[in-house]
Chain A
Amino acid sequence: MTERIQSVVVAALDEINLTREEKIPTDRVLDLCLYGDSGVFESMYLVAFLSLVEENIEDEFGAEVSLTSEKAVSRRVSPFSSVRRLVGFIEEELELVGVRG
């Protein structure tokens, strides 16, 4: 399941890259920091990116998760500090709604 989630996230990054002049590097994608000091997104674009991921997750797993919730932003270790953590957070959220790998 981790891999499936990961490909959903990467596909979203690829789609965003289509319309960006400054491309987001996806070679070491798991360590890519999404938001914060070295993050690739400003807050507004982060929300758009997360919406896209939510949408693609819904298409892939048939379940809705929220990535912009209070829960997501109040984590001690932010799910936006790397793609790996975002994938982990999505996996937990999917398990909560009964989707298992």
Chain B
Amino acid sequence: MRDELVRRFEDFGTRTALFDRGTAVTYAELLKRIRDTRERLALHGVKPRETVVVHGDYSTDSVATLFALFLDRNVVVPVVTLTDTTLDTLTEHCRPSHLVGTTEAGVEIRDLAQPTAASTGQSGGAGPAQAAAPDAAEGAGTVHARLGDPGAAGLVLLSSGSTGAPKVILHSLDVLVGEKLQKRPRRRPNALNILMVLMFDHIGGINSLLSTLLVGGTAVLPRHRTPDEICALIERHRILVLPTSPTYLNLIMVGGYHRTYDLSSLRLITYGTEPMSDELLDRVHRTFPGVRLLQTFGTSETGIATTTSESSSSTYFKISDAGVEYRIVDGELQLRSRTQFLGYLNYDDDSLTEDRWFRTGDLVEEAADGYLRIKGRAKEVINVGGEKLLPLELESVLMGSPLVEDCVVYGRPNAITGQAVCVDIKPSGELTRAALRKHVTEFLAGRVEPFKVPSKINVVDTIAMSDRLKKLRSRPGADEE
């Protein structure tokens, strides 16, 4: 497999692999960078099967380091934002031997087992690393051993859970790469030109990167993920494929960036990470009439499944992936996939059923012809005195109002009805809370059942979005998991 990957990169040769800060990097150059990185890693004492944290967002260096560690059969932990808490969690459960920092200043390799002056400096987070130093080698072996294949490389992802410590999810990187190597290389250069909107430490981001590079496509690496910059990059690089999320697409349209920039190169927009409402999809479809719209589906635990949308204007989709089985139990989607994770390193595998199906936590409905539609997250159900509501349902209706630019619906506990429906609204234009409340009450009358009318409405300047491009639904005082 490793030979096959290197051979492909050699064959792709002068094709552009990456656009990194506007500079084209060919496959030959990337391969050279991978080889140099392997040498540097060896010089710094990084041994096969050790766990290595790669800190940074997409860059030629971070991508080269990912592949170098894959070739050397390490366990790779990509982390875009490395906080002390994250490093504590990783130190405790992964015992990384090294930390590779990939910043604009270049690559810095730190030995976490033998802290140096540099590692105790201002970068923070050195404390926990030092504390774990004596066990680093042994701990790294343990994580690799869980792969069950001494010749494989591992990938550790952190879940973006809203509460508690993130879940530390172990994958076999060999399995993920192996899946992508089954696809034949593209014959024409530039046939696949994709913008890396999803993050480097996100299953969707890793999936996009591997899908693109292993078949000879071009990955354009953004520095920031503002709608302005993303749309500028689409225009500049004639991007064909934009993997994104519903919230993000709304930001592009509301900001009018599709008018500011020429986005006519787009052929495919994929959306995932959170459910799409019919109202928003309809607007996207009207705004980008010639573009195919595809619902993607995946989880950090099972990988990304190949999907087919019923049509560009439909939120119904099929999981059409030979490597993924699905079933629906009590309304919840359960998956079993070839690219399934090997376990959590810090939690019990309670999200797996006894027969090893993964409970996604997503509530879905299935149409007669096998098409699925995501209704929302099971944990986001709002229960108002026994009557139940999913936020997306109400958000979708509210987004139909000309006065609502974006909104987020959530439950807030109270001692009378258990939960009450609350909504934060970013209005289009200036509106007071009283005026907005009056409008919302009138707008919803007759459109939804009375218990779904929010009892509390807040006017906000922005609807917060996580770095996974999802709407943040967790509010102070709101029900937690």
Residues of A within 8 A of B (CB): 15, 18-19, 43-48, 50-52, 55, 68-70, 72-74
Check B445–A68 contact: CB distance below 8 A: no
Check B416–A46 contact: CB distance below 8 A: yes
Q: Which of B439-476 contact A (CB under 8 A)?
A: 441-442, 445, 450-451, 453, 455-456
Q: What residues on A are CB-neighbors of B456 within 8 Å?
A: 51, 55
Which 7 residue pairs spanning A and B have beta carbons closest together? A68-B414, A48-B455, A73-B415, A51-B456, A51-B455, A70-B415, A47-B455
Q: State whether A68 and B442 are in contact (beta carbons under 8 Å apart), knowing that A44-B385, A51-B455, A73-B415 are contacts in the complex.
A: no
Q: What residues on A are CB-neighbors of B384 within 8 Å?
A: 44
Q: What residues on B are CB-neighbors of A47 within 8 Å?
A: 414, 416-417, 420, 455
Determine whether B186 belongs to the interface, using a CB cutoff of 8 Å to chain A: no
Determine whether B327 belongs to the interface, using a CB cutoff of 8 Å to chain A: no
Q: State whether A73 and B433 are in contact (beta carbons under 8 Å apart), knowing that A44-B384, A44-B451, A48-B455 are contacts in the complex.
A: no
Q: List 8 A-B contacts (CB under 8 A).
A: A44-B385, A44-B455, A47-B416, A48-B420, A52-B437, A55-B433, A69-B415, A72-B415
**Binary contact readout B364-394 vs A (1 if CB under 8 angstroms, 0 otherwise):** 0000000000000000000011000000000
Check B442–A19 contact: CB distance below 8 A: yes
Q: What residues on B are CB-neighbors of A19 within 8 Å?
A: 441-442, 445
Q: What residues on A are CB-neighbors of B416 within 8 Å?
A: 43, 46-47, 50, 68, 73
Q: What residues on B are CB-neighbors of A70 within 8 Å?
A: 415
| Residue of A46, A47, A52 with most partner-chain B CB within 10 A | A47
Bound form: Cα–Cα A74–B416 in Å: 10
Chain B, Cβ-Cβ closest to A16: B441
Contact size range, B? 10 to 19
Check B385–A68 contact: CB distance below 8 A: no
Q: What residues on A are CB-neighbors of B453 within 8 Å?
A: 48
Bound form: Cα–Cα A52–B420 in Å: 13
Bound form: Cα–Cα A44–B415 in Å: 11
Residues of B within 8 A of A (CB): 384-385, 414-417, 420, 433-434, 437-438, 441-442, 445, 450-451, 453, 455-456
Check B420–A51 contact: CB distance below 8 A: yes
Bound form: Cα–Cα A73–B417 in Å: 11
Bound form: Cα–Cα A72–B417 in Å: 13
Bound form: Cα–Cα A46–B451 in Å: 11
Q: What residues on A are CB-neighbors of B451 within 8 Å?
A: 44
Main SS class of interface, B: mixed
Q: State whether A43 and B385 are in contact (beta carbons under 8 Å apart), knowing that A48-B455, A51-B455 are contacts in the complex.
A: yes
Q: State whether A43 and B415 are in contact (beta carbons under 8 Å apart), knowing that A51-B455, A55-B433 are contacts in the complex.
A: no
Q: How far is the CB of B437 from chain A (nearest CB, A)?
A: 8
Bound form: Cα–Cα A18–B450 in Å: 16
Q: What residues on A are CB-neighbors of B438 within 8 Å?
A: 18
Q: What residues on B are CB-neighbors of A15 within 8 Å?
A: 434
Other A-B pairs beyond A51-B420, A55-B456, 4, CB < 8 Å = A44-B385, A44-B455, A52-B437, A72-B415
Chain B, Cβ-Cβ closest to A44: B451
Q: What residues on B are CB-neighbors of A52 within 8 Å?
A: 437
Bound form: Cα–Cα A19–B445 in Å: 10
Q: What residues on A are CB-neighbors of B437 within 8 Å?
A: 52
Q: How far is the CB of B211 from chain A (nearest CB, A)?
A: 47
Check A68–B415 contact: CB distance below 8 A: yes
Q: How far is the CB of A33 from chain B (nearest CB, A)?
A: 15
Bound form: Cα–Cα A46–B416 in Å: 9
Q: How far is the CB of B441 from chain A (nearest CB, A)?
A: 6
Bound form: Cα–Cα A78–B420 in Å: 20
Q: How far is the CB of A7 from chain B (nearest CB, A)?
A: 16
| Residue of B416, B437, B442, B445 with most partner-chain A CB within 10 A | B416
Bound form: Cα–Cα A71–B211 in Å: 56
Q: How far is the CB of A17 from chain B (nearest CB, A)?
A: 12
Bound form: Cα–Cα A33–B441 in Å: 24
Q: How far is the CB of A15 from chain B (nearest CB, A)?
A: 8
Q: How far is the CB of A89 from chain B (nearest CB, A)?
A: 13
Q: What residues on A are CB-neighbors of B414 within 8 Å?
A: 47, 68-69
Q: How far is the CB of A66 from chain B (nearest CB, A)?
A: 8
Q: What residues on B are CB-neighbors of A44 within 8 Å?
A: 384-385, 417, 450-451, 455
Bound form: Cα–Cα A69–B442 in Å: 28
Chain B, Cβ-Cβ closest to A73: B415
Q: How far is the CB of B81 from chain A (nearest CB, A)?
A: 32
Q: How far is the CB of B422 from chain A (nearest CB, A)?
A: 8
Which residue in A55, A68, A72 is a CB contact (below 8 Å) of B420? A68
Q: How far is the CB of B264 from chain A (nearest CB, A)?
A: 46
Q: What residues on A are CB-neighbors of B434 within 8 Å?
A: 15
Q: What residues on A are CB-neighbors of B442 within 8 Å?
A: 19
Bound form: Cα–Cα A52–B414 in Å: 14
Q: How far is the CB of A72 from chain B (nearest CB, A)?
A: 7
Q: What residues on B are CB-neighbors of A72 within 8 Å?
A: 415
Q: What residues on B are CB-neighbors of A68 within 8 Å?
A: 414-416, 420
Q: How far is the CB of B269 from chain A (nearest CB, A)?
A: 38
Q: How far is the CB of B435 from chain A (nearest CB, A)?
A: 12
Bound form: Cα–Cα A45–B453 in Å: 10
| Residue of B384, B438, B456 with most partner-chain A CB within 10 A | B456
Q: How far is the CB of B438 from chain A (nearest CB, A)?
A: 8
Bound form: Cα–Cα A18–B434 in Å: 13
Chain B, Cβ-Cβ closest to A18: B438
Q: What residues on B are CB-neighbors of A55 within 8 Å?
A: 433, 456
